[in-house]
Amino acid sequence: MHFPSSINSKLPSVSTTIFTIMTTLAKEHGAVNLSQGFPDFSPHPVLVEGVEKAMRSGSNQYAPMAGYMPLREKIAEKAQDLYTAEVDPDTEITITAGGTQAIFTAILSVVRENDEVILFAPAYDSYAPAVELAGGRAVYYDMLPPDFRIDWQGVKKLINQRTRMIIINTPHNPSGTVLSAFDMQQLEKLTKDSDIVILSDEVYEHIIFDGLQHQSVLRYPKLAERAFVVNSFGKTYHNTGWKVGYCIAPKNLMAEFRKVHQFNVFSVNSVAQVAFDEALKQKDLYLELNAFYQAKRDYFRQAIQSSRFKLLNCEGTYFQLAGYSRISEERDIEFVRRMTKDMGVAAIPVSVFYRHQVDNSIIRFCFAKEEETLKRAADLLIKI
């Protein structure tokens, strides 16, 4: 199809995502794929059985625009149990087509032309394009290795009268760091008496290690009253392909969110919502997830301990960062391509998570894999 020359791209700097590129490259070369963040094991049988039951019982038509009410009620109960947050399932929860759609919708619902949105880099790659499509401008605070911590006085210098939103992500992809109670208190101070909206990406809320506590925005009433909180069932229940998530926000923000949601998605997979409602009744499925993934993290770290990679700290998510400066002086993008083609393991270069492709010779491995997969990868990595 011919693309008319008079039409200018709305995202001229955006091309195929690195995740698609590396997964495709892994398939072409038969490499162990530790690049794109998805599990290679099946979801719990309760979900598979729940979907089949929902289909057979007739839940095959449009769900309500805001989502299946019993599921929203379970989410409200969960928010109360975990974070002592009182959330109205009718007006403050919307089921979305995954976490990324919730992020996109939240940004488009409040960001206007010339508004500024503060992002913490390295940042998930969907944030900035959504801001740009809304007519806003992404303003970056760069977090640097090995700790990827935030100096909130530095963030304060970025805030001005055009600042409309601050996007946080904890546990953080790709660094694996976790925001502390101190971080949340500092964010609360910075946004006090302002019109700044918080978008809190918490899709890895149940994948946090070493006894650390997830500091959800929902724990902090002064933050929660100005925040969109985004979660993902796919990350929690090992079924990223189902693309179901949800957003929690106060009534006034959720009203704006739904205005956008109803015209870009309207409603979300009905049978999956019914199945997740059943799954949420079994609290152990998410409460035991921390230990499940900590075991995988520890196994993978131990398996490649004798390699020439330098492992960074991993407090949460199912991603492990590793420095390779003792192996090669190549740029990280070149290194992961060669590692996939010649060494049989695919990873993600961390520079792609920075606006200006800051290259610290660090790559990201996904350990949400079967032990057999991790062992095959480790056997190859220790030979590099």
Report how far apart, in Å, the C-alpha atoms of 25 and of each of 91, 195, 322 are.
44, 45, 20
Q: Model's pTM, two decimal places? A: 0.95
- Please say whether the beta carbons of 265 and 106 come within 8 A: no
pLDDT of residue 13: 83
Specify the 3-state DSSP secondary structure of 8.
coil
- CA–CA distance, 50 with 198 (Å, rounded to integer): 34
List the beta bridge partners of residue 163: 116
Q: Which CATH architecture has domain 18-43+287-381?
A: Alpha-Beta Complex (3.90)
In a 13 Å sphere around the CA of 65, the CA atoms on its Cβ side amount to: 12
pLDDT of residue 119: 98
pLDDT of residue 356: 85
Residue 179 gets the label, from left (phi > 0), alpha (psi -120 to 50) or beta, of: beta
DSSP, residue by residue, 176-205: -----HHHHHHHHHHHTTS-PEEEEE-TTT
CA 23 to centroid of chain Cα atoms: 18
Find the DSSP H helices in 134-249: 152-156, 181-191, 221-224, 233-237
Q: Which residue has the tokens 């990868």?
A: 377
Q: Residues 48, 49, 55, 59: is their CA dihedral positive or negative?
A: negative
Specify the 3-state DSSP secondary structure of 255.
helix
- Please say whether the beta carbons of 85 and 79 come within 8 A: yes
- Please say whether the beta carbons of 320 and 367 come within 8 A: yes
256 CB-near residues (< 8 Å, 6+ apart): 109, 110
Specify the 3-state DSSP secondary structure of 98.
coil
The segment(s) of the chain belonging to CATH 3.40.640.10 are 45-282
pLDDT of residue 100: 97
- pLDDT (tens, 9 = 90+) of the chain, 384 residues, equals 555 666 788 998 888 888 899 999 999 999 999 998 889 999 999 999 999 999 999 999 999 999 999 999 999 999 999 999 999 999 999 999 999 999 999 999 999 999 999 999 999 999 999 999 999 999 999 999 999 999 999 999 999 999 999 999 999 999 999 999 999 999 999 999 999 999 999 999 999 999 999 999 999 999 999 999 999 999 999 999 999 999 999 999 999 999 999 999 999 999 999 999 999 999 999 999 999 999 999 999 999 999 999 999 999 999 999 999 999 999 999 999 999 999 999 999 999 999 888 899 999 999 999 999 999 999 999 999
The segment(s) of the chain belonging to CATH 3.90.1150.10 are 18-43+287-381
Q: Give pairs for 72-78: CB < 8 Å, separation 24+.
A: 72/246, 74/277, 74/280, 74/281, 75/246, 75/248, 75/280, 78/280
- CA–CA distance, 126 with 120 (Å, rounded to integer): 13
List the beta bridge partners of residue 169: 201
268 phi, psi to nearest 5 deg: -120, 155
- CA–CA distance, 175 with 145 (Å, rounded to integer): 9
45-282 is classed CATH 3.40.640.10? yes
Instruction: Using alpha carbons, select from 369, 327, 343, 351 the residue that is nearest to residue 18.
Output: 351
- Please say whether the beta carbons of 227 and 198 come within 8 A: yes
